[in-house]
Amino acid sequence: MKKIITTLCSSMLISFGHSFAQKPVRLITLDPGHFHAALVQKSMYADVDPSVHVYAPAGPDLQAHLDRIKAYNFRSESPTKWKEVVYTGDDFFEKMLSQKSGNVVVLSGNNQKKAEYILKSLQGGFNVLADKPMAIDEKGFDQLKQAFAVADRKELLLYDIMTERFEITSILMRELAMMPELFGTLQNGTAADPAIVKESVHYFYKYVSGNVLTRPQWFFDVTQQGNGIADVMTHIVDLAQWECFPEQAIDYTKDIQLLSAKRWTTPLSLHQFQTLTKTDTFPTYLRNAITNDTVLNVYSNGEIHYRLRGVFVKTSVVWNYAAPEGSGDQYTAMMRGTKTTLFIKQGAEEGYKPTLYIQPFATTRRSDVEEAFNKLQATYPGVELKKVANGWQIVIPDKYKEGHEEHFARVTQNFLEYLKHHNMPAWEVPNMLAKYYTTTKALTLAQKTKP
């Protein structure tokens, strides 16, 4: 049965006959099955209308999204003022396309049809802000190529949510790697000893906005959520491109050479699945991933070895059930230059906080590092060098540190800036294509590789 819940009169609906400068941005949230959809609205934005149209099937995914928005509206500190206008029904996507009640579609949910939704939304005249991954397989990548062509032809904006670019340790690693007097030049490395190594460790059991996250059942189905090698891997493949070749366009047809890829499963007991989803049994669509009727095996882990413009890169993603006490998702990284090696570590020794290190070679002069670091301090006042056993730790003031949830506002603000001024950097589109080419091709390769 179709159902419309509305709190707006027709005069408040968007008119596509006017330019962006004459009308505020009006968001449309499409089938918000992932908590990232709500995090886009954890903040208010000057150019965004507080009325947000939501098109989705009725059910727990939609209700969880609306509950998160409500919590932001009623929090004691800096409450938001969103007004959700909801349409539910089997034809929710078609209704979104026909009603044109906004000009920006926000996509974060079940990934099975995401590439299709992106393409058809752009064909319908909407800009799109999409959570990763925008494509989970090669079919999706082909649709994504079409989508960018449509966006270019219609002068629309398609952008994905790369929150990790706003983590301060990643920002400073990139800055340091651009200082030849400190870093030298990026080494190429070898297949056995890559010059770039990145690993992301995630946990199914986690807290979001202060509450234990309930995962939808489909999140554990790789045909709907995507394999880990094509999902979370997008973040670290993006960082590799962003840090190694800043503000340079990557041509996936000639700049990327896949060497090997593999994937493996994370086992979840029925009890763990019940805890994560608040449901009693495994759904039937997961039966092929279940052993002994009690263990679900999820292809959430993956590793890629590839060359990026001749530089050997290794990226990996790992999912476990729950984090050690006092910790959370963890990210480690290494970049090897000709003068120093840069590390991000986030283990017990760092108190599970991302920490940036500089490790010099025997021939590196301490004075060169310290003099070059003065330039970084001019841009980031308060950042300091601390001598440690193997080099230096970068001491970063708290004023530069933001959590993962706060990064969503940063990405959204960038998107809005690009939308308003039509000034998205020219390298962004080819690099989005390069990223999804890498992850989807790697998945195909991993599926052919014996575990």
Predicted pLDDT at 3: 52
What is the rounded distance in angstroms from the CA atom of residue 213 to the CA atom of residue 432?
A: 29
Greater confidence (227 vs 16) lies with 227
Residues 137-157 have pLDDT tens digits of 999 999 999 999 999 999 999
Predicted pLDDT at 451: 64
Residues 318-344 have pLDDT tens digits of 999 998 888 888 999 999 999 999 999
Predicted pLDDT at 43: 96
Predicted pLDDT at 8: 35
Confidence grade of residue 210 (pLDDT, cut at 50, 70, 90): confident
**pLDDT of 14 strictly over 80:** no
Contact indicator for 133, 436 with CB cutoff of 8 Å? yes
Mean pLDDT lowest among 16-20, 95-99, 264-268 = 16-20
Mean predicted confidence (pLDDT) in 431-439: 98
**pLDDT of 198 strictly over 60:** yes
Contact indicator for 47, 18 with CB cutoff of 8 Å? no
State how beta strands 311-322 and 196-205 pair: parallel
Question: What's the fold here for domain 3-162+408-419?
Answer: Rossmann fold (3.40.50)
**pLDDT of 398 strictly over 70:** yes
Q: Shortest CA distance to 442 belongs to which of 197, 220, 318, 263?
A: 263
Confidence grade of residue 441 (pLDDT, cut at 50, 70, 90): very high
Mean pLDDT lowest among 159-163, 180-184, 207-211, 314-318 = 207-211
Predicted pLDDT at 449: 83
Predicted pLDDT at 328: 85
Confidence grade of residue 2 (pLDDT, cut at 50, 70, 90): very low
Helix axes 168-177, 366-379, angle to 10 degrees: 130
Mean predicted confidence (pLDDT) in 10-28: 52
**pLDDT of 370 strictly over 50:** yes
Residues in CB range of 216: below 8 A, 6 or more apart: 33, 60, 61, 110, 277
- What CA–CA distances, in Å, run from 63 to 67, 82, 412? 6, 15, 23
Class of domain 165-402: alpha beta
Question: Cα-Cα-Cα-Cα dihedral of 112, 117, 119, 125, to 10°?
Answer: -170
Predicted pLDDT at 24: 87
Prediction pTM value: 0.92
- What CA–CA distances, in Å, run from 157 to 133, 167, 424? 17, 24, 9
**pLDDT of 81 strictly over 70:** yes
Predicted pLDDT at 11: 28
Predicted pLDDT at 12: 32
Is residue 82 classed as helix, strand or coil in its secondary structure?
A: coil
Domain segments of the chain as ranges: 3-162+408-419, 165-402
Residues 155-174 have pLDDT tens digits of 999 999 999 999 999 999 99
Mean of pLDDT over the chain: 93
Residues 375-395 have pLDDT tens digits of 999 999 999 999 999 999 999
Predicted pLDDT at 211: 83
User: By percentage, how much of the chain surpasses pLDDT 70?
Assistant: 95
- DSSP secondary structure code for residue 120 in this structure: H
Alpha-carbon torsion 407, 356, 205, 216, what sign? positive
